[in-house]
A = this chain, B = another copy of it.
Amino acid sequence: MNLSRYMKERQRLVDRTLRALLAPSSGKPPRTLDRAMRYSLFSGGKRIRPILALASAEALGARLEPVLPFACGLEMIHAYSLVHDDLPAMDDDDLRRGKPTNHVVFGEGMAILAGDGLLTEAFRVMAEGALAAPQRGKAALRALHEVAAAAGAGGMVGGQVLDLEAEEKKPTRTVVEAIHTRKTGAMIRAAVRVGGLLGGATPRQYERLDQYGTAIGLAFQVTDDILDIEGGTEKTGKREGRDAELNKATYPAAIGLDRSKRLARQLREDALSALQPFGPAAEPLRQICHLIVDRAAPAQT
């Protein structure tokens, strides 16, 4: 398969669906709010989470359509989390994906509300998706629950709290892992789970997909940490060395750069071996795994 073409096609599918689902079923959002939400939602994100949800259903030979509203919900929640993370009271970032951050353009109050709006609308969109597929009602509810649990106080929001609190301390491996599994890992894992649930995975298939999701969720953040040191602004859209500047708890800070790269490669192996029983239908999931890890830790040949 041609991964680059696959990703572009899926990004287009996700973007088209996002635009369609954002138009509210009732109550028009104020113009400025709508603009602020779309500014961060359509700012060149790679759509990794929605594409993972779709690719997981695909690995099961399932239809993609019922997964789409959940794929969009995942991306809306991801977009909200970036808007809030960049706020002056949090990481105070003025650049994201090479563009001024939301609060720089719209002001702090509007950025908070744009984030709140994206988060809430994500659940509206997922609930509408669930209502549109009554024959999958239970699976859709479980998927919605997965997303809420992964995004909530025990997941992504909790991870951001640990991240803020860690800026004061020397990062240990335990601390870094606790942050990353919650802050990034939980939502990536949820994306894979959502595809499994809506794709009708058997318990055994679901377990395998979950192993894959857990491994790439952590791998994603490890490679992000490495790229913050080695990547440069053109690759990350952020200022290089920004994490070190903020004294962020990262893997390289906790265990060094070389061991971080070895860990990323190990997680790639774990992810790929979990996919073994799925055969060719899981090829997109395999390629996405390479895409994530190879950015920072190319396979040794």
Contacts and interface: CB of A to CB of B under 8 A. Distances in A.
B112 A87 contact: yes
A68 to B, nearest CB: 17
Interface in A124-170: 124, 127-128, 130-131, 134, 137-138, 140-142, 144-145, 148-149, 151-155, 157-158, 160-162, 164-165
Given A128-B145, A182-B27, A186-B27, A161 B33 contact: yes
B141 A130 contact: yes
A123 interface: yes
A109 B89 contact: yes
Interface stretch (A114-122, A219-227, A287-295): A114-122
Nearest to A108: B89
A48 to B, nearest CB: 20
A243 interface: no
A182 to B, nearest CB: 7
Contact of A116 (B24, B119, B162, B164): B119
A194 to B, nearest CB: 13
Nearest to A27: B154
A298 to B, nearest CB: 33
Interface in A169-187: 182, 186
Which of A27, A34, A37, A162 gathers most chain B CB within 10 Å? A27
A277 interface: no
A110 interface: yes
A153 B120 contact: yes
A124 B143 CA distance: 11
B116 A157 contact: yes
A17 interface: no
A124 B110 contact: no
Contacts of A32: 161, 165
A29 interface: yes
Interface of A: 24-30, 32-34, 37, 80, 84, 87, 89-90, 107-110, 112-113, 115-117, 119-121, 123-124, 127-128, 130-131, 134, 137-138, 140-142, 144-145, 148-149, 151-155, 157-158, 160-162, 164-165, 182, 186
Given A121-B148, A121-B152, 11 more contacts: A24-B149, A28-B154, A28-B158, A34-B153, A80-B116, A113-B161, A117-B152, A120-B148, A120-B153, A124-B148, A127-B141
